[in-house]
Structure 1
Amino acid sequence: METLFIWLGAISAITFVLSLLLLPWFVARIPSDYFTRPRDPHRWQVLLRPRAIVRNLLGLPVLLAGIAMLVLPGQGLLTIMIGLGIMNFPGKFELEKWIVTRKGVLQALNWIRRKAKHPPISAP
């Protein structure tokens, strides 16, 4: 049991450091009109392509790390947004929009973008 806690602590520390290092880069890559531009309603069909499968397999651990960071040290909501940004599934955009409308999330994203000298993300 003690080994489990050591591993959980190590994983928590690694994800915390990685989120601090990679977060500004990922947030700066979000287009400023991401939440206001029109969407293709038939986008779910791309799920069957190999690229979408790989993206989902890469994004799932990031998403799970973000969920864990809600109770562990780290940028939980922002890491969840990064994981969702990597992944592709039906309802993804609505979920991202819901998360961004939570108090303080859009402010935090735009603060990071301002530090990186990028225009702010338009509110949904």
Structure 2
Amino acid sequence: MNTVQVGFLVSIAMVVLSLAALVTFIYTASADFFCEHVFKEAGNPGLSPLRIVKNLVGWCLVVAGIAMLVLPGQGLLTLLVGVGLCDFPGKSACNRWLLKRGYYHRAVRWLNQFRMKLDKPDFVLPDAPEDQ
């Protein structure tokens, strides 16, 4: 196989894995996943092997996403997934800020449509958005 075929197969695999990860998240996340107390309770659980691996994968995806901004690939998507996996100071404050935006609420309502088809309770959202 040449590099174009390998690149095509890797792209297809990434799309399939992304869709599988989204469905897994929609199915397994608790209904209060987006509530503020969940972010506060997460706190600093210490160094566990899983947390170290998650952060390593996240930072590798951040670097790969930055590279893919100028190289072929899904740079922004990879960068966002990497940032989502990484633990860094201010992440909870950023999550709380995003929760107050109307477009974030619309996205969660879209996820709730899928949860309804899976017979899962809707995601509970904190206070109403500032700009709707």
Same fold (TM over 0.5): yes
Find the counterpart in structure 2 of residue 56 from structure 1. 55
Find the counterpart in structure 1 of residue 14 from structure 2. 15
Find the counterpart in structure 2 of residue 118 from structure 1. 120
Cα distance per residue 1:35-86 (max 9 Å; x no partner): 2252148x2362x333310232345567788997xx84xxx59x839x83x5
**For residues 80 and 99 of structure 1, what CA distance do their matches in structure 2 show?**
18
Percent identity, please. 27
Find the counterpart in structure 2 of residue 26 from structure 1. 25
Residues 1:44 and 2:44 are matched in the alignment: yes
Contact between 1:52 and 1:87, CA under 8 Å: does it hold in 2? no
RMSD: 3.9
Question: 1:83-122 alignment to 2 at 5 Å?
Answer: 84=84, 87-97=86-96, 98=98, 101=101, 103=103, 104-122=106-124
Deviation at 1:32, TM superposition (A): 0.8
**For residues 34 and 22 of structure 1, what CA distance do their matches in structure 2 show?**
16
Select the structure with the greater relative contact order (CA < 8 A; seq sep ≥ 6): 1
Q: CA, structure 1 residues 6+59, in 2 after alignment: closer, same or farther (shift >3 Å)? A: same
Q: CA, structure 1 residues 95+16, in 2 after alignment: closer, same or farther (shift >3 Å)? A: farther
- The alignment's TM-score, normalised by the length of structure 2, stands at 0.56
**For residues 44 and 102 of structure 1, what CA distance do their matches in structure 2 show?**
29
Alignment coverage as a number of residue pairs: 112
Q: CA, structure 1 residues 102+120, in 2 after alignment: closer, same or farther (shift >3 Å)? A: same
Contact between 1:99 and 1:105, CA under 8 Å: does it hold in 2? no
- The alignment's TM-score, normalised by the length of structure 1, stands at 0.59
